[in-house]
Structure 1
Amino acid sequence: MANATAQLEYHLALLTHLRTILAALGEAEQVPEESHALFLERFDDLMQQLPVDPESTYLGQDLICQVIQRYPQIAHLIPRDLLWFFGGDCLHYMPEEELAMYQELEERRYEAEQNDEPFDWNQEKQLLSMSGDDSKH
């Protein structure tokens, strides 16, 4: 269970980071103010909802897809882990090779959990992306 909590906290931290970027957009007045304020409220709702209701990931799917559609100028700043975490329509924004890497990561994490071994998501992700780079050259 500790792993699930750590995973949730990790993704909440990523959401917090993304919210900071969104808030900065509003302050830079690059977006219509009213709809932006409402959007940030929904974003905050999601962050409060996630820890108490794991099923609320569908809200996350919706919000992340909206961030990409409403704020294309920051789409590249959305942490890829959030796209994978929320899944669903978010996965349409990930190329095949990236999806394959995340699938591999999930399998490695599952295996580690089955064997009661520690698993460092970010470290494994770096290892995988480096081995992916090798195959491209």
Structure 2
Amino acid sequence: MNINLPYHRYHFALLMSLFDTLRAESVLMTQTPEESNILFLERFEELITQLEAGDQDALYSGQEILCQIISRYPQVAHMIPRDLLWYFGGDCLHYMPDEEIAQYQLLDEHQAEAEARGEDFDWEQARLLLMSEQLRNS
């Protein structure tokens, strides 16, 4: 995993934004003991460090972190960008409906086709285009 590739950089930015939001979110402190929240945020910081280092295990750590947010802090689960659930995959996919998974699979296919042609692929732009097309068709 190369954090300097646009696909990974985009998702890393989403993850950093989520981390900053959760760290600032006072609701975390009111729902569970403070020590537990501190340990959770420390694990989240370790995930960020793993991603920056290109550690493949970061994908498993990311799954654990996102699933913990959903189970431990359901009041802020809506803050998790859907793209992160897809990016980390695994257990995170349990929180995505089949239709949404199909959309992300289609995006993956478009990305693979573009890369096979030697073209750049803007994940965020392609996702927004696909979502807007589906809204028009519904």
Aligned residue number for residue 120 of structure 2 = 118
Whether the 8 Å contact between 1:105 and 1:125 is mirrored in structure 2 is: yes
TM score, norm. by length of structure 2: 0.89
Classify 1:118/1:2 alpha carbon distance in 2 versus 1 (closer, same or farther; 3 Å): farther
Bigger share in helix: 1
2:30 counterpart SS class: coil
Q: Which has the bigger relative contact order, CA under 8 A and spacing at least 6?
A: 2
Q: How does 1:29-108 map to 2 (within 5 A)?
A: 29-31=29-31, 32-52=33-53, 53-108=55-110
Q: How many residues align?
A: 136
Residue ranges of structure 2 left out of the alignment (5+ in a row) = none
Contact 2:67/2:91 (<8 A) preserved = yes
User: Structure 1's 3 and 67: CA in aligned 2 closer, same or farther, altered over 3 A?
Assistant: closer
Output the aligned Cα RMSD.
2.0
CA distance in 2: counterparts of 1:79 and 1:8, whole angstroms: 14
Work out whether residues 3 and 12 of structure 2, in 8 Å CA contact, stay in contact via their aligned partners in 1. Answer: no
TM-score w.r.t. length of structure 1: 0.90
Find the counterpart in structure 1 of residue 15 from structure 2. Answer: 15
Helix, strand or coil: the match of 1:54? coil
CA contact (8 A) 1:46 1:59 kept: yes
Residues 34-71 of structure 1, C-alpha deviations (whole Å, 9 max, x = no match): 10000000000000012321232001101100011111
Identity of aligned residues (%): 51
